[in-house]
Amino acid sequence: MAPSLEALSRETPKQRLKRRLRKAALNLLYVAMAYALLVVGARLLHRRVLYQPPGDDAPTEVPEGATLLTAVAADGVAVNALDFAAPKAARTIVHFHGNAETVEANAFLAREMKKRGFAMVLVEYRGYGRSRGSSPNEEGLYLDATAILDVLAARGVGPDRVVLWGQSLGTGIATEMAKRGRGSRLALVAPFTSTVDMAARIVPFLPANLVMVDRFDTLEKAPAISAPTLVVHGDIDDVIPFEQGEKVSHAFPHGTFLKVPEGRHDNLYKSMSVISALAAHAGG
């Protein structure tokens, strides 16, 4: 109960100071409790922000030129991919798409690469497209990628014939697969250093290291990856800072950086020079 006006008027300076300090400490405690709840809430909900599959219904038809490749991940989750086979191809590009899209969005890339002599497999993630039903998380996406790569290996398409290609969110998956030795070459388009760094940039008032469980720490993994790596980034990317892509490229022992003038996050593949550079890297 708050002290009455009469009681306040009888306070000595020492009592007044003590009361004010007690009130300040109590207010500070309330602020700390509210902040702690905010951090806990952000940690619990961070995957809803990190993974944003399109809200469209799951596709029912397979794009022209592709066949549906299915597998089962180690945790029992069904995995789907689109297989743009090219029987005479020396290399197969395994592609990991961005956050707010599904494999269908990259069918044009597969057709373009097939024209250039590559087979291409577009990997879908749990929680996306045909693979809805299980919630996405970092380890789960690695299991999905591993399941498809295992199917290819069983067909005789081992790491020496695999090119790992990631776009945005998919760069984190491609990097992890490269670290595990699942491909001979690596291409990263619009990569981030880590999702922790991205969170720190977007919500600097939160402790990103505590909030982000799914970290996709490409910068930390890069020095251990010996595969030739091409990093492509637009210089006006409005989602992932250009500086992060540049920093990532320098971290790879055999990294090459391609700066795309006037390149945003969503227009890089409109440049045939980018497509040609990726094809040259895949075939090198």
Q: Is the domain of 35 the same as that of 110?
A: no
- 123 and 44 fall within a common domain: no
Check residue 2 and give its pLDDT: 57
Do 154 and 260 lie in one domain? The reply is yes
E-state strands within the chain: 67-72, 78-84, 92-96, 119-123, 162-167, 185-189, 229-234, 255-260
Mean pLDDT score, 147-172 = 98
Number of domains in the chain: 2
pLDDT digits (tens, 9 = 90+) for 221-236: 999 999 999 999 999 9
One domain for residues 111 and 155: yes
Residues 19 and 81 in one domain: no
Q: In what order do the strands lie in the sheet with 78-84?
A: 67-72, 78-84, 119-123, 92-96, 162-167, 185-189, 229-234, 255-260
Instruction: Give dist(CA 80, CA 124) in Å, integer.
Output: 6
- 45 and 183 housed in the same domain: no
Q: Which residue has the higher pLDDT, 31 or 252?
A: 252
Asked if residue 253 has pLDDT above 70, the reply is: yes
Q: Which two tokens stand for residue 127?
A: 């929680």
What is the C-alpha to C-alpha distance for residues 134 and 78, in angstroms, rounded to an integer? Answer: 9
Claim to verify: residue 26 and residue 77 sit in the same structural domain? no
Residues 28 and 42 in one domain: yes
**pLDDT in the model for residue 5:** 55
Q: Counting beta carbons within 10 angstroms of the beta carbon of residue 49, is it exposed (0 to 12), middle (13 to 18) or buried (19 or more)? A: middle
Higher pLDDT, 282 or 26: 282
CA separation for the pair 31, 25 (Å, rounded)? 10
- The whole-number average pLDDT for the span 163-178 is 98
Mark whether 24 and 152 lie in a shared domain.
no
96 pLDDT more than 90: yes
**What's residue 22's pLDDT?**
80
CATH of the domain at 58: 3.40.50.1820
Can you tell me the distance from the alpha carbon of 268 to that of 68, in angstroms, rounded to the nearest whole number? 27
- pLDDT value at position 37? 76
CB of 107 closer than 8 Å to CB of 82:
yes
pLDDT at 205: 84
- First-to-last CA distance in the chain? 77
d(CA 110, CA 104): 10
> In this predicted model, what pLDDT tens digit does every residue of 37-81 receive, in sequence order?
776 777 777 898 899 999 877 787 899 999 999 999 999 999 999
pLDDT for the residue 40: 73
For the chain, the C-alpha Rg in angstroms (whole number) is: 25
**Pair 174, 273 in one domain:** yes
CA 214 from chain centre, in angstroms, equals 9
Q: Give the lowest-confidence range in 29-43, 69-83, 120-134, 192-206.
A: 29-43
Query: Other CB atoms closer than 10 Å to residue 70's CB: what's the count?
Result: 15
Asked if residue 188 and residue 68 are part of one domain, the reply reads: yes
Q: Are residues 42 and 112 in the same domain?
A: no
Q: Is the pTM of this model over 0.85?
A: yes
On the question of pLDDT at 213 being above 70, the answer is yes
- How far, in Å, CA of 247 to CA of 43, rounded? 27
Domain of residue 145 covers: 51-283
